[in-house]
Amino acid sequence: MKHAWFQKHPGAAGLAVAMMVVALTGQGCPLLGGTPPELPPLTGSREEVEKGIKDVVPVEMEATVDLIFKHTKPGSYSDLFAMIQSLPNADIMAQWKGPCLDPNPTTSGKTDAKGSLELTQRFRCFGKYEIMGTATKDGKSASFDKTVDVK
């Protein structure tokens, strides 16, 4: 059974408990003008701290691609450059489509620690070129697709 004073002042019970904790532990209470106890500093590298956060907060899988071309040797050949962005260390599988591609229009790779990967494909004539593919990591995947018209 509660003391009659606490029955008339229900919010005071929590304050009384907080005051008892402060009194017993010797730690200051910011609500009462004291200072909070110091928390220990975070330890470990930035990567370890970020990994700890990612273990608690789920990360969504995304993949984007920018596609540009350069007439590397005009009249002879040009190159397509795909800049893929996804999660760090994601596996990338890409397929190139378009006229006059040099052999092996399927390429793969792994994104770097910042989640970036650049793929290059040589071609020999004007037309529409496309790269499409998938980024995969930890059982999750995301698709990307981009087209450029080379004139």
For residue range 118-141, list pLDDT tens digits in order. 999 999 999 999 999 999 999 999
Q: If you average pLDDT over residues 75-89, what whole number do you get?
A: 94
Q: Which helix (H) or strand (E) element contains residue 21? A: helix 12-25
Q: Each residue of 105-115: pLDDT tens digit?
A: 889 999 999 99
Does residue 12 have a pLDDT over 90?
A: no
**Percentage of the chain lying above the pLDDT 90 cut:** 51
Task: Show me where the domains of the chain are located.
Answer: 64-150
Q: Note the pLDDT of residue 132.
A: 97
In this model, does residue 1 exceed pLDDT 60? no
The order of strands in the sheet holding 140-150 is 106-110, 91-97, 127-137, 140-150
Cα 34 to chain centroid, rounded: 39
For 64-150, the fitting CATH number among 2.60.40.10, 3.10.100.10, 3.90.1150.10, 3.30.420.10 is 2.60.40.10
